[in-house]
Each structure stands twice: as structure tokens, then as C-alpha cells.
Amino acid sequence: MAVIFPRWTNWIPLVVVGGLALAVPSITFAVLYWFSPEYTDVGYAPKQPVPFSHKLHAGELGLDCRYCHYTVEKAGHAAVPSTETCMGCHTAIRNKSEKLTLVRESYNTGKPVEWIRVHMLPDYAYFNHSVHVAAGVGCATCHGRIDKMTVVRQAKPLSMSWCLDCHRAPNKHLRPREQVTNMAWTGKGYTPSVKETHRSKRVDIQRLRKALLNETAKTPVRMAQKSHGGKMAKEKIERIVVNPPEHCSGCHR
Ligand code: HEC
Ligand code: HEC
Ligand code: HEC
Ligand code: HEC
Ligand code: HEC
């Protein structure tokens, strides 16, 4: 009898099943990834118990972010201000306003206002504000133009790929530290003097050397020549070393 199906075709069902076994999780992963918060959380803007406006307080009145979120440079979390901070002004300003009823109640009872969280990472992801602020990442880079928002809304995805996009190439997102809370800062004409290191990888000495040489040859010296009449004044230039983790345990501790 002629061999219609050569012997190897016996393997086809196995290959198909095996292939599916591999394909299903990766498709599931792709779907989960695609619909993960990167594509759904942006724009989240819950209604708050008190109609507090950043547009008014941070924008028009020009209060610095740190006036209220005063732990942001020192701690992992950026504290939401206590009622006392509000009442510093509102015992005198608009002290009869209905919009401030809950704030006055809170002041009298000592029970904090129950603000609704806008930005929230899952528990298994670790984040720290002070590290980012000290490295010169601006509030606006991660939160958008808060000073233009009447109601805070999430401007960025806060997804893993969003974090990693910056961690892989942070330089262009950095600014001088004193500009961190400046919402209008554009960075025009600013070249950060920053060295990236990558502790998650083995140090590639050649690459690092090249990067350093390039940096010394171009940015700092050019800046130095501008401001010091052509003299080499490298040591005068502040150089921050940033070291954002790319390895899993950097953010999943
Ligand atoms: C007068 C006090 C005050 C100032 C100044 C202020 N904030 Fe806020 N901020 C608050 C309060 C109160 C909340 C909680 C209510 C809300 O979300 O609107 C808040 C919430 C936030 C949130 C959302 C927190 C969450 O739940 O995820 C972010 C982000 C934020 N502020 C950033 C900023 C930035 C950036 C600046 C400077 C441009 C700033 N704030 C200035 C009082 C202030
Ligand atoms: C540095 C002073 C200052 C601080 C601190 C401050 N505010 Fe205000 N707030 C103002 C001023 C000024 C106005 C606008 C008054 C006007 O429109 O004439 C205002 C207006 C408001 C209004 C609108 C009131 C109305 O009747 O329209 C609310 C609500 C409010 N603030 C909530 C808060 C809360 C909540 C905090 C604390 C997180 C806070 N403010 C902290 C100065 C301040
Ligand atoms: C590198 C990105 C990044 C920068 C820069 C940044 N934030 Fe955040 N912010 C986040 C993330 C992510 C969360 C959610 C943190 C969580 O759930 O643990 C958050 C949460 C907050 C909250 C809610 C309370 C908290 O800590 O969870 C406030 C308030 C806030 N940010 C204010 C600020 C202010 C003010 C600045 C500038 C001084 C700033 N942030 C700079 C990413 C950033
Ligand atoms: C716009 C740039 C940027 C974004 C976005 C960003 N980071 Fe970072 N991150 C940095 C830089 C720069 C450093 C390095 C700071 C240093 O080495 O001084 C850093 C450092 C860290 C560290 C190390 C802190 C430590 O204590 O060692 C953690 C953890 C981290 N980031 C988590 C996150 C997470 C989680 C997100 C997303 C929710 C995120 N980052 C988004 C720029 C960013
Ligand atoms: C720069 C910080 C950072 C690093 C490095 C990082 N992750 Fe994440 N990861 C996050 C954040 C933030 C989330 C939460 C994302 C969200 O809520 O959408 C997350 C979510 C996850 C999830 C849940 C599924 C998902 O995509 O939302 C898995 C699984 C995961 N990470 C695995 C890893 C592995 C494996 C590595 C190492 C290869 C790694 N992560 C490195 C920040 C990081």
C-alpha cells in the first residue's frame, strides 16, 4: 500500500497541541498587557470630597507643590496636606464658604478629610518620590500640568513599560533640581550633565569609557567654554550620577 501519510505526520497533532500550549499563554499575556492600565488608567479623575483646585492654588496663587506635599523630597510618599495647612489660610479666607464646610469640620473634629487616591501602583511595585526628585525628575514629567487641573487627573500610564522607558534612557527627562516643581519648565537649551550607570547589567568598561569620553569631550567642556572663557573648568560642573534599576528586584522587592 502506498504511503499516503508519511510517518512524520504522526507528529502533527502533537506539534499543534504543543504549539497551542506555547501560543495561548503568550497571546493571553499580549492581551493582558495590551489592556493593562497603560491603556486604561490615564484620565482617571475621581470627584474629591472637597472641590480643591490645583489650578487655583498651584496655578493662579502660585503656591509651590512642596508647600503642601512637603515630604516629597524626603520620603517615598508625597504627603497630602493636613487640614491645618489649609486652615492656615482658610480661617481668614473664604471662612464661610460652603465648599470648605468639610475642611472646617475636619479642623474641629481632628478627623482628616478623606481624599480619594488618584495615582496608585499595585502593592508589588515599589516607588520612591525622594529618589526621583533628587535625581531631577520633575513633577510634571510624571503627573502632567497639575497647575492647570481643576480636578487632578492621571496624566501618565504608570505602567511598567512607562517606568522602564525612562529608566533605560533617563538623561533627556532630567532637569536641574531647583526646577523640579516648576510646571512650565521646558528644558530648552539645557543639556544635563549626567552619567548613566546601569547596575543591573555587568559594567561594560569600553562602553562606559566611551560614554564618559564623549561626555567630557562634548557637553561639559562646551558648557565650560561658554561660561569660563574657553578655560577647562570641568570640576565646576555639577555632575549627577543616576542609576535607575532595570532589573526586576529593583521595583519588585
Ligand atoms: C494648597 C495645597 C496644595 C498645593 C500647593 C499642591 N497640592 Fe497637590 N494636592 C493637594 C490636595 C489637598 C490633594 C488631594 C486632593 C486632590 O486630589 O485634589 C492633592 C493631590 C495631588 C496629587 C494626586 C495625589 C493622588 O491621590 O494620587 C498630585 C499628583 C499632586 N497633588 C501634585 C501636586 C503638584 C505637582 C503640585 C505643584 C504644582 C501640587 N500638587 C500643589 C494639595 C496641594
Ligand atoms: C496660601 C493660602 C491658601 C492655602 C494654604 C489654601 N488655600 Fe484654598 N484658597 C485660597 C484662596 C486665596 C482662595 C480663593 C479665594 C477667592 O476666590 O477669593 C482659595 C479658595 C479655595 C476654595 C474655593 C472656595 C470657594 O468658595 O470658592 C476651596 C474649596 C479651597 N480653597 C480649599 C483649600 C484646601 C482644601 C486647602 C488645603 C489643602 C487650601 N484651600 C489651602 C488660599 C489658600
Ligand atoms: C518618576 C515619576 C514621578 C515623579 C517625578 C513624581 N511623582 Fe508623584 N507619584 C508617582 C507615582 C508612580 C505615584 C503613585 C505611588 C504609589 O502608588 O505608590 C505618585 C503619587 C503621588 C501622590 C499621592 C501620594 C503618594 O505618594 O502616593 C502625590 C501627592 C504626588 N505623587 C505628588 C508629586 C509631587 C508634588 C511631585 C514633584 C515634587 C511628584 N509627585 C513627582 C510618580 C511620580
Ligand atoms: C522620567 C524618568 C523616570 C520615570 C518615569 C520613572 N523613573 Fe524611577 N528612576 C529614575 C531615575 C533617574 C532614577 C535614578 C535615581 C538615582 O540613581 O539617583 C530612578 C530610580 C528608581 C528606583 C531606585 C530607587 C532606590 O531607592 O534605589 C526605583 C525603585 C524606581 N526608580 C522605580 C520607578 C517606578 C516603579 C516607576 C514607574 C511607576 C519609575 N521609577 C518611573 C527615573 C524615572
Ligand atoms: C522600573 C520599575 C520596574 C522594573 C525594573 C520591573 N518592573 Fe514589573 N512592574 C512595575 C510596575 C510599576 C508594575 C505595575 C504596572 C501596572 O500597574 O500597570 C509592574 C508590573 C509587573 C507585572 C504584572 C503584569 C503587568 O504587566 O502589569 C509583572 C508580571 C512584572 N511586573 C514582572 C517584572 C519582571 C519579570 C521584571 C524584570 C524583568 C520587572 N517586572 C521589572 C515596575 C517594574
Decide if 100 contacts 90 (C-beta within 8 A): yes
Cα(161) to ligand 2 centroid in Å equals: 37
Question: What pLDDT digit, counting tens, does each position of 78-96 carry?
Answer: 999 999 999 999 999 999 9
Range with lowest mean pLDDT among 16-20, 212-216, 228-232, 236-240: 228-232
Q: Which of 117, 93, 92, 114 shows the shortest CA–CA distance to 105?
A: 114
Our mutation pick for probing the ligand 5 site, out of 38, 137, 252, counting the most ligand atoms within 8 A of Cβ, is 252
Looking at residues 207-229, what average pLDDT do you find?
41
Decide if 160 contacts 41 (C-beta within 8 A): no
- Higher confidence at residue 219 or residue 250? 250
Cα(221) to ligand 4 centroid in Å equals: 28
Per residue in 105-128, is it b (16+ CB within 10 Å) or e — as a string?
ebbeeeeebeeeebeeeeeeeeee
Cα(120) to ligand 2 centroid in Å equals: 26
Decide if 164 contacts 129 (C-beta within 8 A): no
**pLDDT of 19 strictly over 50:** yes
Q: How confident is the model at residue 118 (pLDDT cuts 50, 70, 90)?
A: very high
Q: Determine whether the shortest distance from the Cβ of 57 to ligand 2 is under 6 A.
A: yes
Q: Determine whether the shortest distance from the Cβ of 132 to ligand 3 is under 6 A.
A: yes
- Residue 75 CA to residue 208 CA, distance in Å, equals 31
Q: How confident is the model at residue 221 (pLDDT cuts 50, 70, 90)?
A: very low
Q: Looking at residue 191, what is its pLDDT?
A: 79
Question: What pLDDT digit, counting tens, does each position of 190-212 carry?
Answer: 877 766 665 444 434 445 445 54
Cα(48) to ligand 5 centroid in Å equals: 29
Q: Which long-range contacts (CB under 8 A, 24 or more apart) does 220-224 make?
A: 220/193, 223/191, 223/193
